[in-house]
């Protein structure tokens, strides 16, 4: 989340006119993440999140994202719910951007999750996968293996300026993954971006999952390794086996993993590390002038990829076979 597009008072009042939210009390930009313009909105009806959709978000995908939140919330998952106008619309236009309002969830994201938090995440991720079944809409993963070469191409000429030899490193990894990527794994709707800043906690319990704007149809196990990469490495770059084991085993207790899924974890983890290294590289090289945004260093995920290149077994990630 970030602020790329500013909102004037006049435009905000006009945008809110079709809603039953009362008067505007305050609007504050949220300076985290890199994808959309997000604001904490306070009105007479309470606190909400206002999002203006930018950059990689395709407007045609917004009914999928907003509908998924409705679907999951109706089945008991703690996640934001789209707020609708008096005419029943969840999507509008503000400052020339597609925009929506969702409910505000109480809770804090964690900077240093412990094993117990990873276990809670595993259960919440499994619930997300189970409760997403039956959702009527679908969306292909637009940042999957087939898309990574094109994603890398605009950054290719400057990649070595970020890290010496990065271009050759990425090319070699793409060739490896294209030759070894697992096929036919159980799949459905995944979150695809469940980093610590997208999980809220109260009293060490998950109080909500947020930011569904990368959700798509893909292998469930791929979603699991995205979480392993985001939650189970320490600040010094080392992999915390205890956290990894806790996350995987808690997930398995709520949604069993097949033998094929377990076997695929090391390769999927390599792919997930490359995917985030590439998107961070693109963002690192293309920060819009004046944007209230903190780009994330791709070096973190390059280092995680180098770790996964040495993994020989799912046991190295904490998975019992």
Q: Where along the chain do its domains lie? A: 9-103, 115-317
Give residue 1's pLDDT: 41
Query: Pairing relation of β-strands 187-190 and 199-202?
Result: unpaired
CA atoms within 13 A on the CB side of 176: 15
- Per residue of the chain (321 residues), what is the pLDDT tens digit? 456 688 999 999 999 999 999 999 999 998 764 578 899 999 999 999 999 998 768 899 999 999 999 999 999 999 999 999 999 999 999 999 999 999 999 999 999 999 999 999 999 999 999 999 999 999 999 999 999 999 999 999 999 999 999 999 999 999 999 999 999 999 999 999 999 999 999 999 999 999 999 999 999 999 999 999 999 999 999 999 999 999 999 999 999 999 999 999 999 999 999 999 999 999 999 876 665 566 899 999 999 999 999 999 999 999 997
Give residue 307's pLDDT: 98
Give residue 281's pLDDT: 96
Give residue 32's pLDDT: 60
CATH of domain 115-317: 3.90.1200.10
Q: Are 295 and 280 in contact (CB under 8 A)?
A: yes
The domain covering 9-103 belongs, at the CATH homologous superfamily level, to Phosphorylase Kinase; domain 1 (3.30.200.20)
Give residue 61's pLDDT: 95
Q: Is 52 helix (H, G, I), strand (E, B) or coil?
A: strand
pTM above 0.75, yes or no: yes
9-103 and 115-317, same CATH topology: no
* CB within 8 Å of 98: residues ≥ 6 apart: 52, 53, 57, 59, 62, 91, 92
């Amino acid at each position: 989340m970030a602020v790329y597009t500013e909102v004037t008072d006049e435009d905000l009042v006009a945008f809110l006119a079709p809603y039953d939210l009362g008067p505007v009390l305050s609007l504050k930009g949220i300076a985290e993440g890199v994808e959309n313009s997000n604001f904490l909105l306070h009105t007479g009806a309470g606190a909400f999140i206002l999002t203006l959709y930018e950059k990689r978000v395709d407007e045609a995908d917004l009914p999928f994202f907003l509908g998924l939140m409705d679907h999951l919330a109706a089945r008991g998952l703690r996640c934001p719910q789209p707020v609708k106008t008096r005419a029943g619309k969840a999507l509008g236009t503000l400052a020339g951007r597609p925009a929506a309002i969702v409910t505000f969830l109480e809770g804090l994201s964690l900077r240093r999750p412990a094993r117990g938090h990873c276990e809670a995440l595993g259960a919440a991720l499994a619930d997300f996968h189970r409760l997403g079944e039956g959702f009527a809409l679908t969306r292909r993963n637009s940042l999957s293996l087939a898309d990574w070469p094109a994603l890398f191409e605009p950054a290719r000429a400057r990649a070595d300026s970020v890290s010496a030899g990065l271009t050759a490193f990425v090319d070699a990894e793409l060739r490896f993954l294209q030759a070894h990527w697992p096929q036919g794994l159980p799949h459905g709707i995944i979150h695809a971006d469940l980093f610590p800043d997208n999980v809220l906690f109260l009293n060490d319990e998950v109080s909500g999952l947020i930011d569904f704007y990368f959700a798509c149809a893909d292998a469930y196990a791929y979603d699991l390794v995205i979480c392993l990469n985001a939650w189970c490495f320490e600040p010094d770059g080392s992999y915390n086996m205890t956290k990894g084991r806790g996350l995987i085993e808690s997930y398995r207790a709520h949604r069993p993993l097949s033998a094929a899924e377990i076997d695929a974890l090391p390769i999927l983890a390599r792919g997930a590390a490359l995917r985030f290294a590439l998107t961070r590289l693109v963002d690192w090289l293309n920060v819009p002038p004046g944007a209230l945004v903190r780009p994330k260093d791709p070096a973190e995920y390059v280092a995680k990829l180098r770790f996964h290149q040495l993994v020989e077994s799912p046991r190295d990630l904490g998975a019992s076979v």
